[in-house]
C-alpha cells in the first residue's frame, strides 16, 4: 500500500461515512469506493461493512486501520523532525485548548500565527481541561492550553489570568443574593472551576442557593444572565462586550482580593523543540 491509502483508511475510520470521507479526501464517492475495494483486495479481507447507516469496521479491519493510523502518525513525526531542521516553519501545530479560551483568546493569536507562518498547518481540539490533559498524556497534541491550576511535570507557561464576576441585571451587591428569588445559573465545567465557585459560595453564604439552573455551555449561561433569567458567575474573558445595564460584581477571596482564574500552556520538552511550537510561543509573547 502507498502512503495515501493509509490516510484514506484513517479518514474512513474517523468518519464511518463514505460521503463525508470523500469530501475530506477531495475525491468522488465512486472513486473512494473503488479505491477501498482495491485496498481490501490487496489485504485479502473485508475492512469495512457497508450499510444504509454508514460504515462499521470488521475485526480484521480494526487491526488494519490501527496499523494505518500508526503509519500516518509516524510519518508525520518524521516530517516534523525533518522540517524542524529547516529555517521556514512547516509541519502541523497540534493544540488542545480549553473551550472558552478557544473562543475568546486563541483566535487572535492564530490569526497572527497563520499570517506570519503561512506554510504551517494547525490542528485544534477544544474541550474541558481534563480532556486536554488526556490528549497531552497520550501524545495526541503538542501543547495544551488549560484553565485553573494544573498538576503538570512538564513545561508550563503562564499565559494570563482573569477575574471572576457575579453577573446580573438587577443585583448590585453580592449580599442581595440572599433575598432574590432568581435562580443561580451555572454551566457544566471541569471539577477545579466548579470547586472554586463552591468554596467561594459556602465561604460567603454558608447555605445553598435557593434554586439553580445548570446548562451545558458557558455562552448559554451568559445569555440567560444577560436576559434577566437569573444571575451567574462568569470569568472576565467572557465579558468583553457587557452591556451597560448588566451589573458585574467581582468575587473576592478571604483576604478581599479579586478571585482569579489562571490560564496555562503545557507541553513536553520534546514538543517545545519543534519549530512550529517555538514559532507559536513567539507569537503568544507578541500578543501579550
Q: Above 60 in pLDDT, residue 229?
A: yes
Cell of 131: 480532556
Residue 150 three-state SS: coil
Are the CB atoms for 236 and 252 separated by under 8 Å?
A: no
Q: How far is CA 93 from CA 122, 160, 176, 246, 280, in A?
A: 5, 21, 47, 39, 8
C-alpha cell at 44: 485479502
Which residues, 6 or more positions from 36, have their beta carbon under 8 angstroms from its beta carbon? 8, 12, 47, 48
- What end-to-end distance do the CA atoms of the chain give, in Å? 47
pTM higher than the cut 0.75: no
pLDDT digits (tens, 9 = 90+) for 41-93: 999 999 999 998 899 999 999 999 999 999 998 988 888 777 766 667 888 99
**8 A C-beta contact, residue 24 and residue 11:** yes
CATH architecture of 161-260: 3-Layer(aba) Sandwich (3.40)
pLDDT at 2: 58
CATH of domain 3-84: 1.10.10.10
Cell 444577560 sits on residue: 226
Nearest residue to 167 (alpha-carbon basis) of 132, 219, 128: 219
pLDDT, position 52: 87
CATH 1.10.10.10 residue ranges for the chain: 3-84
Q: Which residues contact 71 (CB under 8 A, 6 or more apart)?
A: 3, 6
Which regions of the chain carry the CATH code 3.40.190.10? Answer: 92-160+262-287
3-state secondary structure of 247: strand
Cell 484553565 belongs to: 147
Which parts of the chain fold into alpha helices (H)?
Answer: 3-15, 18-25, 29-43, 59-84, 99-104, 106-116, 129-137, 191-205, 218-226, 269-272, 275-287
CATH match of 92-160+262-287 with 3.40.190.10: yes
Where in the chain do CATH 3.40.190.290 domains reside? 161-260
State yes or no: pLDDT of 232 exceeds 70. yes
Tracing cell 485544534 back to the chain, one arrives at 124
pLDDT level of residue 1 (50, 70, 90 thresholds): very low
Amino acid at each position: 500500500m502507498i502512503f495515501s491509502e493509509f490516510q484514506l483508511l484513517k479518514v474512513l475510520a474517523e468518519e464511518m461515512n463514505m460521503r463525508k470521507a470523500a469530501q475530506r479526501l477531495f475525491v468522488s464517492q465512486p472513486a473512494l469506493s473503488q479505491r477501498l475495494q482495491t485496498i481490501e483486495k490487496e489485504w485479502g479481507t473485508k475492512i469495512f461493512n457497508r450499510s444504509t447507516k454508514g460504515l462499521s469496521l470488521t475485526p480484521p479491519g480494526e487491526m488494519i486501520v490501527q496499523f494505518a493510523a500508526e503509519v500516518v502518525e509516524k510519518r508525520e513525526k518524521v516530517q516534523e523532525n525533518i522540517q524542524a531542521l529547516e529555517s521556514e516553519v512547516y509541519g502541523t501545530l497540534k493544540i488542545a485548548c480549553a473551550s472558552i479560551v478557544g473562543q475568546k483568546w486563541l483566535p487572535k493569536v492564530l490569526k497572527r500565527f497563520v499570517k506570519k507562518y503561512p506554510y504551517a498547518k494547525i490542528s485544534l481540539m477544544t474541550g474541558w481541561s481534563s480532556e486536554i490533559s488526556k490528549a497531552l498524556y497520550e501524545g495526541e497534541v503538542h501543547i495544551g492550553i488549560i484553565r485553573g491550576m494544573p498538576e503538570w511535570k512538564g513545561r508550563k507557561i503562564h499565559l494570563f489570568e482573569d477575574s471572576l464576576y457575579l453577573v446580573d441585571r438587577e443585583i448590585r451587591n453580592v449580599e442581595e443574593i440572599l433575598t432574590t428569588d432568581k435562580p443561580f445559573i451555572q454551566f457544566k465545567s471541569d471539577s477545579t472551576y466548579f470547586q472554586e465557585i463552591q468554596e467561594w459560595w459556602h465561604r460567603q453564604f454558608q447555605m445553598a442557593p435557593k434554586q439553580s439552573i445548570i446548562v451545558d455551555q458557558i455562552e448559554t449561561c451568559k445569555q440567560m444572565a444577560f436576559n434577566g433569567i437569573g444571575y451567574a458567575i462568569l470569568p472576565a474573558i467572557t465579558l468583553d462586550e457587557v452591556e451597560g445595564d448588566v451589573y458585574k460584581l467581582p468575587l473576592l477571596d478571604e483576604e478581599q482580593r479579586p478571585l482569579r482564574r489562571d490560564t496555562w500552556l503545557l507541553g513536553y520538552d520534546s514538543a517545545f523543540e519543534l519549530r512550529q511550537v517555538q514559532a507559536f510561543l513567539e507569537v503568544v509573547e507578541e500578543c501579550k
